[in-house]
Amino acid sequence: MVEILNQLQQAVILGEPDQARELATQALESSIAPLTAIEEALNPGMQVVGDRYERGEYFIPDLMMAAEAMKAAMAVFEPVLMARREQRQVLGTVVIGTVEGDIHEIGKSLVATMLSTVGFRVHDLGVDVPASEFVAQVRETGANVVGLSALLTTTMRNQEAVIAALKEAGLREQVKVIIGGAPTNPEWAQIIGADAYAENANEAVEVVRRLLENHIRGKMGIGR
């Protein structure tokens, strides 16, 4: 059991989707519970990948391959989880997209994938998304996080437009807003009233986790 979990973790770390899929199947055949494999192999593997990225040992392609490996394993586990009526712990619900007028996809998609792999329920709206669609999705899904990507100086203003639309719809207090993209920075986030900025996908995961933890603590009155 331990050996299979170690090998599955390594498959994620090395970004090997085919091996991850095969090992996930072997785990089930060895009566390893899907949730055990997720908690003891997949999630720790992604944590190692994130740490290596932070140290400059891994790069964006490495993150993408690791995410693909985790997705391959999850494709094996999810039908079993559903059949057993078991669920991964959902850390939060995220609506994410590239704002209107901007069609850059890679960075946003990587953030969405990384958030999904660590346990967030993610609704990826794609690119060139108008403010009204963000609002509609937040209302429909009950999301508590909105991620706004913009890769052009000419479209970063539309991040502000989404925040304004959320306020107008009475949804701003419900969600934490995180922004990213090449022309953005922490100062821009502060100017437009976003809750946070993240420079890359790995940082985005940690920032979203921290935002929600602080939000929950605040609602419970902890730390006041």
pLDDT per position as a tens digit, 8-24? 999 999 999 999 999 99
Q: Which of 52, 83, 114 delimits the end of a domain?
A: 83
What single letter denotes the amino acid at residue 160?
Answer: E
Strand residues in 181-221 grouped as ranges (E): 196-197
Lowest-confidence pick of 43-47, 95-99, 186-190, 204-208:
43-47
Q: Region of 177 please: left (phi>0), alpha (psi -120 to 50) or beta.
A: beta
Both tokens of residue 48? 């190692």
Residue 166 backbone phi and psi in degrees, to 5: -65, -40
Average pLDDT value for the chain: 91
Q: Are 60 and 102 found together in one domain? A: no
In the chain, the number of structural domains is 2
In a domain, 88, yes or no: no
Q: Are 57 and 77 found together in one domain? A: yes
Identify the sign of the CA torsion 132, 136, 139, 143. negative
- pLDDT tens-place string over residues 29-47: 999 999 899 889 998 998 8
Whether the pLDDT of residue 220 is over 70: the answer is no
- pLDDT tens-place string over residues 118-165: 889 999 999 999 999 999 999 999 999 999 999 999 999 999 999 999
Q: Are 22 and 116 found together in one domain? A: no
Q: Are 209 and 99 found together in one domain? A: yes
Chain Cα centroid distance, residue 100: 21
**Residue 62 sits in which domain range?**
2-83
Q: Are 101 and 158 found together in one domain? A: yes
Q: Give 27's Cβ-side CA count (13 Å radius).
A: 29
Q: What is the CATH number of the domain that holds 61?
A: 1.10.1240.10
Q: Are 99 and 190 found together in one domain? A: yes
pTM of the model: 0.75
Other Cβ atoms closer than 10 A to 33: 16
Q: Are 98 and 76 found together in one domain? A: no
